[in-house]
Amino acid sequence: MEHPYGYIKDDKVFLKGFLGQPDRIIGEVKEDKASTLKYFEDRFATVTEKVENLKKDIEENQNKGSFLMKLIHLRDSLMQYDALGDFVPLIEDLNQLEAYLEDIIKKNRERNLEIKRGLILEAEALKNNTDWKETSELFKELKLRWIKTGPVEKEFEVEIENSFNTAVDTFFENRKQFFEGLALQAEENIKVYEDLVRQAQEAFNNPDAKKAFEISKRIQKEWKASGKVPAEKRQPLWDEFSKLNNRIFSRFRREMQSGPRLNPREVIAKMESITEEMKKLAYQESTPMVTSLAKKLQAEWKPLSQTRPRDANLITRNFIFYSEIVFEKSFLNRLAISKYDDFRDKSDEEQAKIKIVILKDLLHRDESELRTVKENSENFRSQEPDFEIMMRRKISAFRRKIDVKNFILKELSNK
């Protein structure tokens, strides 16, 4: 049975060859020849519609070049598409469209090259500027415009990337050297840190563990209040200082644990005291010292929590809540620093705004996960005896995470 673009032979449906291709089998007769031919004609109508839709998308969209790969894939698929119809006009249309898109892409890349060369000139004009804060913002904007500008022809890629990056790196290297030079002004502060390390060593040598611990707490507060020095000079002192204080605390904890057993009322009083200390840390700005003190409070808490009285549940919840605030603040700081290279150079108000944006995103994720957990809890029931308890704890943990973030968000919003 013949068809303008194919035929049926031995119950096999053939498509006539086109564009140098031989005749090929595209299917077989299922019910009758007429309905079979109609089926393959309908398939051709479907692929014709795909071509028309692509042409329409290209016509209506500004970013026409983004359709090039889709066009190529569609055209290639036409050569092996199982249908009955005249494929040649479709392929020719797509060939013309391909040439049209390639011309657009070429012109866009020429324009992108012109834009990027302009950005290089701007970067060159700024690279030796010593207004560090304002110029850092200008370079941030320049880098954003550079990223948003599309690609250029391959032959120019390396040249312009190197030129732009060299100008950017020159400024930031100059800025780095300037702030390193400020270390000369911090020599007096270094002497203060060195004296605190000496006091920590004396406290460590003190045989009275309780007295040593009291001195340790005092000098840690003094350390926190001391002036700024370059990190590379401060870090070795901090390593020695924290090591001595950790040993002082460990000895104090051992003596406390080996001492007389506290009665329930004394345990609760101690737990309330530690919780109050953790609460104070929760209301402070996050620093390595605050985080370190929080970890020490957790270590003090641990032996108490193992034998806590039944009526200490509220104290325990408060301690956990304030602890999580301290460590969430620390995590938020690290996240902000990792996302913004110049975060430490920003004002307190700018830093707070950045943290609020990050925190709202984290809060949205937690709320979404909480909804999922609740839905799973309602939709999937288990006969396991611990299933309900596990789900309640999981939901409670998510709610606490949300409460912690809301606490920090409110604190940042009031700055």
Residue-wise pLDDT for 9-33, tens only, equals 888 999 999 988 999 999 999 888 8
Q: How many residues does the chain have?
A: 415
Query: CB neighbours (10 Å) of residue 74?
Result: 20
* pLDDT (0 to 100) of residue 382: 56
Q: Which has the minimum average pLDDT: 58-67, 298-307, 394-403?
A: 298-307
pLDDT tens digits along 257-301:
654 556 778 888 888 999 999 999 888 988 899 999 999 998 888
State the virtual CA torsion across 86, 90, 93, 97 in degrees, nearest 10: -170
Asked whether the beta carbons of 129 and 122 are under 8 A apart, the reply is no
Determine the Cα angle at 349 with ends 348 and 350, to 5°: 95
pLDDT value at position 100? 84
Q: What is the mean pLDDT of the chain?
A: 85
The full DSSP string for 154-165 is: HHHHHHHHHHHH
Confidence label for 215 from pLDDT (cuts 50, 70 and 90): very high
Measured CA to CA, the distance from residue 235 to residue 241 in angstroms comes to 10
Instruction: Give residue 183's pLDDT.
Output: 59
